[in-house]
């Protein structure tokens, strides 16, 4: 059964929401919950926490839904197992299933952003009996591919190293990030936001030249408009406390995921679905072919939206618009 969390710092609390710890296999997941009605499970990406859904929680609650934003294992106040393989996709899907059951619900709509989008997609794919609708923000749904992920990532970038490959070596990215967590997060958030992205002649932060650091190409300037100093404090305090290893271990499991999920080669998602991407978000533009394939891969797609002038942090950059799109879609799903 859900248990109250240890008292959080006031800065993490979302007004009107309840914080809980719920039991899952091997540990506990922390979540922020608001509202009553059909359950909507909100899953964040890298490097964020449940706090990234702070704008949508009250909107969904007001619209008649029970919105629950989790800290994915390895993040925030959720448990962080030591083995790298504990962060494989099947374990994260199992966490979502356990959260649903712990909250006393039989089914849920699952909504994810960034890595959370992939977690949402696989939750719907592996347990369609429980996750009866799914929404994907920034990262489009793409079925299993016969190309081993690490092999594919290694071919991207030519003489420079693609950021996923950079993240895959245990301890390497931690050595760059953890001496200055707040500064690194500020640079990463700023570099992927509309209006504060680095100029093209500075080079993409997604590619790392030999001997360089990822942060060497981060934008240098003020925070994006969606991120206050207080908000940055919330994120940085959580990662200062937990470190980045749990979050980065998601990247270190992509080949395990590929092996685990091979039986779903070419699988389509038939549940009612929604996609929202940012026109300036590389996660969306790189996977434009996946969006174009939606008539085949997402036969239950209700609507797809590309927000002009929007970067990667979509539910924070365009909080009002995303809240409205989610609510409109949910009303269709639950009509």
Residues serving a catalytic function are: 114, 312
Q: Which residues pair with 137 in a beta bridge?
A: 113, 276
For the record, the structure tokens of 7 come out as 């008292």
Helix/strand/coil percentages in the chain, nearest 5: 45, 20, 40
- Helix segments in 115-244, DSSP class H: 115-126, 149-154, 163-168, 172-177, 181-191, 229-242
CA distances to 156, 228, 258 from 30, in Å? 36, 24, 27
Residue 41 near residue 96, CB atoms below 8 Å: yes
Beta-bridge partner residues of 301: 273
> 38, 160, 25, 155: which is closest to 93 by C-alpha?
25
* CA dihedral of residues 69, 74, 77, 78 (deg, nearest 10): 70
* 292-299 contact pairs (CB < 8 A, 24+): 293/142, 294/140, 294/141, 296/268, 297/141, 297/142, 297/143, 297/268, 297/269, 298/141, 298/268, 298/269, 298/273, 299/268, 299/269, 299/270
Burial class (CB in 10 A: 0-12, 13-18, 19+), 25: exposed
């Amino acid at each position: 059964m859900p248990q109250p969390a240890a008292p959080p710092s006031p800065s993490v609390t979302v007004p009107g929401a309840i914080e809980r710890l719920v039991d899952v296999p091997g540990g506990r997941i922390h979540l922020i919950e608001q509202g009553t009605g059909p359950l909507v499970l909100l899953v964040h990406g890298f490097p964020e926490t449940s706090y990234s859904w702070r704008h949508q929680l009250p909107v969904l609650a007001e619209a008649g839904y029970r919105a629950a934003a989790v800290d994915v294992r390895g993040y925030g106040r959720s448990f962080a197992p030591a083995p790298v393989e504990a962060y494989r996709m099947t374990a994260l899907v199992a966490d979502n299933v356990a959260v649903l059951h712990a909250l006393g619900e039989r089914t849920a709509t699952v909504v994810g952003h960034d890595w959370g989008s992939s977690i949402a997609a696989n939750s719907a794919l592996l347990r369609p009996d429980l996750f009866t609708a799914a929404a994907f923000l920034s990262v489009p749904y793409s079925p299993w591919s016969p190309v081993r992920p690490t092999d594919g990532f290694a071919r991207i970038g030519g003489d420079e190293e693609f950021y996923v490959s950079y993240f895959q070596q245990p301890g390497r990215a931690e050595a760059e990030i953890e001496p200055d967590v707040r500064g690194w997060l500020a640079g990463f958030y700023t570099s992927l936001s509309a209006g504060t992205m680095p100029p093209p002649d500075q080079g993409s932060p997604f590619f790392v030249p030999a001997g360089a650091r990822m942060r060497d190409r981060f934008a240098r300037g003020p925070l994006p408009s969606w991120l206050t100093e207080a908000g940055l404090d919330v994120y940085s305090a959580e990662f200062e406390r937990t470190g980045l290893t749990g979050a980065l271990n998601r990247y270190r499991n992509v080949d395990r995921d590929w092996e685990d999920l091979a039986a779903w080669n070419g699988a389509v998602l038939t549940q009612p679905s929604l996609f929202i991407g940012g026109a300036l978000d590389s996660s969306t533009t790189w996977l434009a072919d996946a969006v174009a394939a939606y008539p085949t891969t997402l036969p239950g797609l209700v609507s797809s939206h590309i927000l002009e002038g929007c970067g990667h942090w979509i539910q924070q950059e365009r909080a009002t618009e995303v809240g409205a799109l989610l609510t409109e879609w949910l009303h269709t799903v639950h009509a």
